[in-house]
Amino acid sequence: MRIKAAVAVEKGKLEMQELELGTPQLGEVLVKVEACGVCHTDTSTLNLEVPSPLPMVLGHEAVGIVEELGPGVRSLKKGDHVILSFPSCGCCENCLSGKPYACETSSELFFNGIYPAGGTRIKNDAGQDVGSLFGQGGFADHCIVSERNAVKVDPEVDLKPLCSLACGAQTGAGAVLNLMKPRPGDSIVVFGCGAVGISAIMAAKIAGCGTVIGVDAVPSRLELALECGATHVINGKECPDIPAEVARLTGGKGARFALESSGAAVLVKPMLMSLGKEGRAVVVSFVGGDVDMNLTMLFVGSCRSLEGTVEGAANPQTFIPRLVQFYKEGKFPVDKLVTYYPFAEIDKAFAESHSGKAIKPILVF
Ligand SMILES: NC(=O)c1ccc[n+]([C@@H]2O[C@H](COP(=O)([O-])OP(=O)(O)OC[C@H]3O[C@@H](n4cnc5c(N)ncnc54)[C@H](O)[C@@H]3O)[C@@H](O)[C@H]2O)c1
Ligand SMILES: [Zn+2]
Ligand SMILES: [Zn+2]
């Protein structure tokens, strides 16, 4: 079938094109896309910060309705409402252990444009294969995904505001609820109050954290962080000593947990120094640059630890329905992060994401 899609054609260049979408293969479904979120990772891919073969249809936070089933699909039927999350092979040791976020082939499946069952599903009019980011390519009116990417959700919920549950919100909330697992009253400092960071702040509130500190440089984002559960905020560009301020806000102890979701290499060391004894830091951002650290000084005496994660260590098939339930109960108000754009205004959506004006741009089809 003919589709209209936003294609990364060369480094930094996104083009609206008509393309030919094939048919769903073994275990795959065709989805009519209703909306798709713009995540920072779309920009990183467009700028080839992660080396990816082009041309490729970007977009990996789509929501929509299942229109056609490929052979062997058992978990979905036509008409199901789905949130399209990240791909995984389903047969490696980590997938079989319930850890699809650590799939042995995730780098290829996320960034090479191919599907777990092999190959691409799109051709352009020059006859070239066109990849689909995250085995999805959600910046298109229709896309094909493996049933493992597609999470069926309650048809009564309006899916449009929930695009970020596919990636950004899942990552922030998952880093807190799946990895840190704070106890009620624990303290946390979140560096970067974008979609990922604010979702982490909402999750910290759900978990009953006591002191929740948001760090950003954009005043409107700091205000939103306070509205979404932060007890304190710090303007990272104005504060001369962030660790000292975190220490002050945590009764001199330093934070129990820290999340890095700003992507700013300059914030990594202050983040680690904001942790108290046995403090635990999680990095989710693609940190732009190397960080010079004295490991002995930062980790040994303080018993601190640092770890990275993909997609908040979530199994989307079980974690996303929980987040939808929190949303329905008013505890996970991701709709507060959203700015809508018609699909044709994708360039504006990207620009307003970069400028900080839009936290979670959502393209509507
Ligand atoms: N690991 C994963 O699976 C995963 C999933 C989704 C997103 N990500 C990554 O997570 C990061 C965050 O994503 P997002 O969509 O929330 O991005 P975003 O750009 O909306 O948020 C980043 C925030 O950090 C703030 N910031 C940047 N530099 C700063 C500085 N020097 N001082 C203070 N604040 C600063 C920005 O103002 C912004 O609010 C990105 O790097 C993205 O690629 C990773
Ligand atoms: Zn796997
Ligand atoms: Zn993403």
pLDDT digits (tens, 9 = 90+) for 331-341: 999 999 999 99
Pocket of ligand 1, beta carbon within 6 A = 39-41, 44, 167-168, 171, 192-197, 215-218, 221, 236-237, 261-264, 266-267, 284-286, 309-311, 356, 359
Report how far ligand 1's centroid is from the alpha carbon of 208 (Å): 24
Query: How does residue 13 score in pLDDT terms, banded at 50, 70 and 90?
Result: very high
Whole-angstrom Cα distance, residue 165 to residue 352?
20
Q: What is the pLDDT of residue 167?
A: 98
In this prediction, residue 70 carries a pLDDT of 98
Cα 191 to averaged position of ligand 1 atoms, centre (Å) = 8
Mean pLDDT of 281-307: 93
Q: Which pLDDT tens digit goes with each residue over 82-95? A: 999 999 999 999 99
Q: Whose CA is nearest to atom 21 of ligand 1?
A: 194
User: In this structure, is the dihedral angle defined by the CA atoms of residues 44, 346, 136 and 328, taken in order, positive or negative?
Assistant: positive
Q: Rounded to an integer, what distance in angstroms lies between the CA atom of residue 243 and that of residue 330?
A: 32
- Among candidate residues 349, 347, 353, 344, the one with its CA nearest the CA of residue 14: 347
| 149: pLDDT strictly greater than 90 | yes
**Which band of pLDDT confidence, cut at 50, 70 and 90, is reported for residue 299?**
very high
Average pLDDT of the segment spanning 158-172: 98
What is the C-alpha to C-alpha distance for residues 327 and 80, in angstroms, rounded to an integer? 19
Round the average pLDDT of the chain to a whole number and report it: 97
CA 201 / ligand 1 centre spacing (Å): 14
Atom of ligand 1 nearest to the CA of 311: 3
pLDDT of 50 > 90? The answer is: no
pLDDT of residue 47: 94
DSSP string, 212-250: EEEEES-HHHHHHHHHTT-SEEEETTT-S-HHHHHHHHT
Residue 116 CA to ligand 2 center (angstroms) comes to 9
d(CA 12, CA 14): 7
Q: Identify the helix (H) or strand (E) that includes residue 82.
A: strand 81-84
In which band, very low, low, confident or very high, does the pLDDT at 303 lie, cut at 50, 70 and 90? very high
Separation between Cα atoms, residue 201 and residue 212, nearest integer Å: 7
CA of 261 to the centre of ligand 1 (A): 4
- Residue with CA nearest ligand 1 atom 8: 285
Whether residue 27 has pLDDT greater than 90: yes
Whether 356 has a pLDDT exceeding 90, the answer reads: no
The answer to whether 31 and 140 have CB atoms below 8 angstroms apart is: no
- Listed residues: CB within 5 A of ion ligand 3: 39, 41, 167
The residue whose CA is least distant from atom 41 of ligand 1 is 285
List, for residues 180-209, the tens digit of each pLDDT value. 999 999 999 999 999 999 999 999 999 999
- Dist CA 22 CA 144 (whole Å): 8
How confident is the model at residue 109, as a pLDDT? 98
Average pLDDT over residues 165-194: 98
21: left (phi over 0), alpha (psi -120 to 50) or beta: beta
- The pLDDT-based confidence of 302 (bands split at 50, 70, 90) is very high
Tens of pLDDT, residue by residue over 218-271, are 999 999 999 999 999 999 999 999 999 999 999 999 999 999 999 999 999 999
**Can you give the pLDDT at residue 225?**
98
Identify the pLDDT of residue 288: 83
- Confidence grade of residue 289 (pLDDT, cut at 50, 70, 90): confident
% of the chain beyond a pLDDT of 90: 96
What pLDDT, in 10s, does the model give residues 311-330? 999 999 999 999 999 999 99
Question: Residue 347's pLDDT is what?
Answer: 96
> Which residue has tokens 């990849």?
131
